[in-house]
């Protein structure tokens, strides 16, 4: 039983939860690091989730049930079209739910309203939230430094970059400890010899459900030097206030909002090719059309369903893609 | 020079001497692994003389199972590259789109200047593969050769799943459609599953390889629907193994 924890289904203004003295828990991270991710998906299927629905949503459902947070903030717009049913089935199991929606048109007014609603729920003020935001700034800068070590100093594996940035959605529930871990890790990483990659890759799309993607890529003398969404979770931008921060955050605002950021970063990081990961049964598979048309680099669209290691076919496709880029 | 293509349905081995094909062998994948796979380790210890092939010749392996080939000095080549090398060698062309419809998947590769510049493969389901045709021919009670004769007046088959496809074709049989239209419907449904990918990576010339290249109906449908020149490789099924040999010549002659 985890009291005073607030679960959420994708990045939300975590500053509000922290200002309220609660522990933020990204249910995605709980699910994928549980060591039993595949069983959790099966558990949701046994409960009635269709086999032909997203593995992440199923994992989140079980994560919610097993961790029993005080409440779950469900992102109803700007993440996943299945969240509504996820919210309803969690409600069915007695978990208190608060909906949150990122406005598709990126309107500051609408976002302000949504955040005010959430602040009312947790009984915190703008000043309190701003204080937390400012307290987190050094931590967010550490995330940026970690990311820079990945692509500029070339001393981080793709998996390390992924892990630390993906955890910045909830700071593993404890921002201070996360900051200490990050500092120690950065200090160690700075001493490493740089990777000599033959191929530099960008990874765009939601975090992979595969457990060994980055390792496999590195076994082929290639390396992921840009994890798009994971980096976005760390909010790597200078901003005036909390509203501005969550307006600059690209992920909830559709493919075109993301595109701008991706174009800038792939150019900056001088990548040779792009892996676009989408989850089986996800609407983002359709958005692949946008990225293929608008990005000038070779793209491999990779699809994952159940948690676990890469299957033979995905390995074959990754290998062929990297080889294609080498020649 | 030996090229070995360890596919999902068949293992194809080609032997060449001075760029001339001297032997071609094909085995059912399961039977091949049973005979040569070392228990537990997932490795293949192959005695070439048992296969009637000369010992001590260089070997290049490609296909799903390539990493399991444990022969000293064996090279491994990713299948997309193997297929492109084979197709460039067999056609003499440098710019085309290669369509490889294999036992369990379909690969579409855009080739420019003799190199793969982009590729797509079918999604996670085997519905756009030779396996689908085998299953469907089985439902109709005909063989693949007969299935490949029909491309006109196809019945409409909508299912995107190979297994539900069977149910759907049974429904059409019950409705009384003639065999020719049912068979044409099956061939058309396979075409539709890769048509979108083919269009995205299209060239003026489409080169077809893999076992399904022997299906005349599919080839006719591609030509008719895409309005492009379509060419089948003479060694369609052995194209990957051939490409592996060619790669071997490039590497070992250095």
Q: Which residues of chain B are within 8 Å of residue A324 when distances are taken between CB atoms?
A: 80-81, 115-119
- Phi/psi for B213 (5° steps) reads -60, -20
Distance from CA of B78 to the nearest CA of A (A): 6
CATH number at residue A122: 3.40.50.11890
* DSSP class per residue in B176-220: T--HHHHHHHHHHHHHHHHHHHHHHT--SEEEEESGGGG-HHHHH
- Among A253, A272, A288, A286, residue whose Cα is nearest residue A322: A272
Of B79, B115, B124, the CB nearest to A327: B115
Mutate to test the interface with B, among A277, A320, A321 (most CBs of B within 10 A): A320
Contact B124 A321 (CB under 8 A): no
Region A130-142: what's the mean pLDDT? 98
pLDDT at residue A327 tops 90: no
Q: How far is Cα B92 from Cα A224, in angstroms, rounded to an integer?
A: 36
CB B45 within 8 A of CB B36: yes
Give the tens place of pLDDT for each residue, B72-124. 678 889 889 999 999 999 999 999 999 999 887 889 999 999 999 889 887 66
**Which residue segment(s) compose the domain that A25 sits in?**
5-126
Predicted local distance difference test score (pLDDT) of residue B124: 63
Q: Which residues of chain A are within 8 Å of residue B81 when distances are taken between CB atoms?
A: 320, 323-324
State how many domains chain B has.
1
Of B79, B115, B116, the CB nearest to A316: B79
| Residue ranges in chain A assigned as alpha helix (H) | 14-19, 27-32, 37-47, 55-67, 83-92, 108-122, 126-151, 158-166, 175-189, 213-219, 228-233, 242-248, 254-268, 284-294, 312-326
Distance from CA of B117 to the nearest CA of A (A): 7
Examine residue B91 and state whether it is found in any structural domain, yes or no: no
Of A298, A313, A319, the CB nearest to B118: A298
Predicted local distance difference test score (pLDDT) of residue B70: 66
Distance from CA of A49 to the nearest CA of B (A): 20
Give the tens place of pLDDT for each residue, A77-88. 999 989 999 999
As a dihedral over the C-alpha atoms of residue B86, residue B89, residue B90, residue B94, rounded to 10 degrees, the angle is 100
Contact B105 A298 (CB under 8 A): no
Region A251-280: what's the mean pLDDT? 97
pLDDT at residue A3 tops 80: no
- Among A129, A138, A101, residue whose Cα is nearest residue A12: A101
Of A312, A317, A320, the CB nearest to B81: A320
Examine residue A179 and state whether it is found in any structural domain, yes or no: no
Mean of per-residue pLDDT scores for chain B: 89
A147 vs B75, residue with greater confidence:
A147
pLDDT at residue A118 tops 50: yes
Contact B124 A280 (CB under 8 A): yes
Q: Which residues of chain B are within 8 Å of residue A319 when distances are taken between CB atoms?
A: 78
pLDDT at residue B132 tops 50: yes
Q: How far is Cα A4 from Cα A21, in angstroms, rounded to an integer?
A: 8
Examine residue B243 and state whether it is found in any structural domain, yes or no: yes
Region B38-46: what's the mean pLDDT? 65
Predicted local distance difference test score (pLDDT) of residue B137: 93
Q: Which residues of chain B are within 8 Å of residue A327 when distances are taken between CB atoms?
A: 115
pLDDT at residue A234 tops 80: yes
Contact A316 B123 (CB under 8 A): no
pLDDT at residue A56 tops 90: yes
Q: How far is Cα B9 from Cα B104, in angstroms, rounded to an integer?
A: 7
Region A44-61: what's the mean pLDDT? 96
Examine residue A152 and state whether it is found in any structural domain, yes or no: no
pLDDT-derived band at A2 (thresholds 50, 70, 90) equals very low
Contact A316 B119 (CB under 8 A): no
A1 vs A39, residue with greater confidence:
A39
Contact B81 A317 (CB under 8 A): no
Q: How far is Cα A158 from Cα A168, in angstroms, rounded to an integer?
A: 16
A interface residues, B as partner, C-beta within 8 Å: 280, 298, 303, 305, 312-313, 316-317, 319-321, 323-324, 327
CB B156 within 8 A of CB B189: no
pLDDT at residue B126 tops 70: no
State how many domains chain A has.
1
Contact B81 A323 (CB under 8 A): yes
CB A72 within 8 A of CB A88: no
* Chain B, nearest residue to A292 by Cα: B200
Give the tens place of pLDDT for each residue, A6-25. 999 999 999 999 999 999 99
Contact B79 A320 (CB under 8 A): yes
Give the tens place of pLDDT for each residue, B136-170. 999 999 999 999 999 999 999 877 777 888 889 99
Sheet with A5-8, strands from edge to edge, namely A23-26, A5-8, A71-77, A97-101
Examine residue A222 and state whether it is found in any structural domain, yes or no: no
Maximum alpha-carbon separation in chain B:
63
ipTM of this predicted complex?
0.73
Q: Which residues of chain A are within 8 Å of residue B78 when distances are taken between CB atoms?
A: 316, 319-320, 323
Contact B80 A324 (CB under 8 A): yes
What's the sign of the alpha-carbon dihedral A253, A255, A260, A266?
positive
Distance from CA of B142 to the nearest CA of A (A): 30
**Which residue segment(s) compose the domain that B40 sits in?**
2-80+239-252
Distance from CA of B181 to the nearest CA of A (A): 32
* Chain B, nearest residue to A285 by Cα: B123
* Chain A, nearest residue to B117 by Cα: A324
Size of interface A-B (CB pairs under 8 A): 34
Distance from CA of B66 to the nearest CA of A (A): 10
CATH number at residue B75: 3.30.420.40
Instruction: Out of A140-144, B106-110, B127-131, B155-159, pick the least confident.
Output: B127-131
Instruction: Out of A160-169, A175-184, B196-205, pick the least confident.
Output: B196-205
* Chain A, nearest residue to B80 by Cα: A320
- Phi/psi for A55 (5° steps) reads -65, -35
Mean of per-residue pLDDT scores for chain A: 96
Predicted local distance difference test score (pLDDT) of residue B55: 81
pTM of the model: 0.85
Contact A303 B124 (CB under 8 A): yes
Q: Which residues of chain B are within 8 Å of residue A305 when distances are taken between CB atoms?
A: 124
Q: Which residues of chain A are within 8 Å of residue B251 when distances are taken between CB atoms?
A: none
Distance from CA of B180 to the nearest CA of A (A): 34
């Amino acid at each position: 039983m985890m009291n005073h924890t607030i679960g959420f289904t994708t990045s939300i203004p975590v500053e509000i939860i922290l200002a309220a003295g609660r522990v933020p828990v990204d249910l995605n991270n709980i699910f994928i690091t549980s060591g039993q991710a595949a069983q959790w998906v099966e558990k949701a299927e046994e409960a009635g989730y269709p086999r032909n629905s997203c593995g992440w949503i199923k994992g989140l459902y079980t994560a919610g049930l097993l961790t029993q947070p005080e409440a779950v903030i469900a992102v109803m717009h700007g993440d996943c079209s299945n969240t509504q049913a996820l919210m309803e089935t969690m409600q069915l199991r007695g978990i208190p739910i608060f909906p949150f929606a990122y406005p598709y048109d990126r309107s500051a007014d609408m976002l302000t309203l949504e955040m005010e609603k959430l602040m009312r729920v947790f009984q915190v003020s703008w000043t309190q939230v701003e204080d937390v935001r400012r307290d987190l700034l050094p931590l967010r800068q550490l995330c940026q430094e970690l990311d820079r070590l990945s692509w500029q100093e070339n001393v981080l594996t793709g998996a390390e970059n992924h892990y630390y940035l993906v955890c910045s959605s909830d700071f593993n529930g404890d921002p201070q400890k996360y900051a200490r871990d990050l500092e120690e890790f950065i200090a160690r990483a700075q001493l490493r010899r740089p990777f000599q990659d033959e191929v530099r890759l960008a990874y765009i799309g939601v975090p992979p459900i595969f457990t060994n993607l980055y390792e496999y890529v590195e076994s082929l003398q290639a390396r992921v030097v840009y994890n798009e969404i994971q980096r976005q979770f760390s909010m790597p931008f200078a901003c005036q206030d909390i509203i501005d921060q969550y307006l600059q955050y690209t992920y909830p605002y559709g493919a075109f909002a993301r595109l701008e950021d991706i174009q800038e970063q792939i150019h900056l990081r001088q990548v040779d090719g792009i892996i676009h990961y989408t989850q089986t049964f996800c609407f983002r598979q359709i958005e692949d059309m946008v990225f293929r048309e608008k990005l000038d680099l070779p793209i491999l669209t990779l699809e994952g369903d159940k948690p676990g290691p890469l299957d033979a076919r995905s390995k074959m496709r990754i290998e062929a893609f990297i080889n294609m880029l080498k020649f | 020079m030996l090229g070995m293509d360890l596919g999902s349905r068949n293992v194809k081995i080609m032997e060449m001497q001075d760029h001339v094909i001297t032997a071609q062998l094909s085995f059912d994948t399961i039977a091949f692994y049973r005979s040569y796979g070392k228990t537990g380790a997932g490795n293949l210890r192959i005695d070439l003389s048992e296969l009637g092939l000369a010992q001590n010749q260089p070997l290049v392996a490609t296909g799903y199972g390539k990493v399991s080939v444990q022969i000293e000095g064996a090279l491994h080549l990713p299948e997309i590259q193997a297929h492109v090398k084979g197709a460039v060698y067999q056609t003499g062309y440098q710019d085309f789109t290669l369509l490889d419809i294999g036992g369990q998947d379909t690969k579409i590769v855009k080739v420019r200047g003799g190199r793969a510049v982009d590729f797509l493969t079918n999604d996670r389901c085997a519905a756009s593969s030779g396996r689908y045709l085998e299953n469907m021919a089985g439902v109709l009670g005909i063989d693949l050769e007969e299935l490949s004769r029909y491309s006109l007046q196809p019945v409409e088959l909508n299912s995107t799943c190979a297994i539900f496809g069977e149910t759907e074709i049974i429904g059409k049989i019950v409705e009384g459609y003639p065999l020719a239209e049912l068979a044409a419907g099956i061939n058309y449904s396979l075409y539709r599953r890769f048509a979108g990918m083919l269009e995205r990576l299209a060239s003026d010339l489409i080169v077809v390889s893999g076992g399904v290249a022997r299906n005349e109906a599919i080839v006719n449908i591609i030509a008719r629907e895409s309005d492009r020149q379509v060419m089948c490789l003479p060694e369609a099924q052995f194209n990957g193994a051939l490409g592996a040999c060619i790669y071997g010549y490039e590497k070992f002659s250095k």
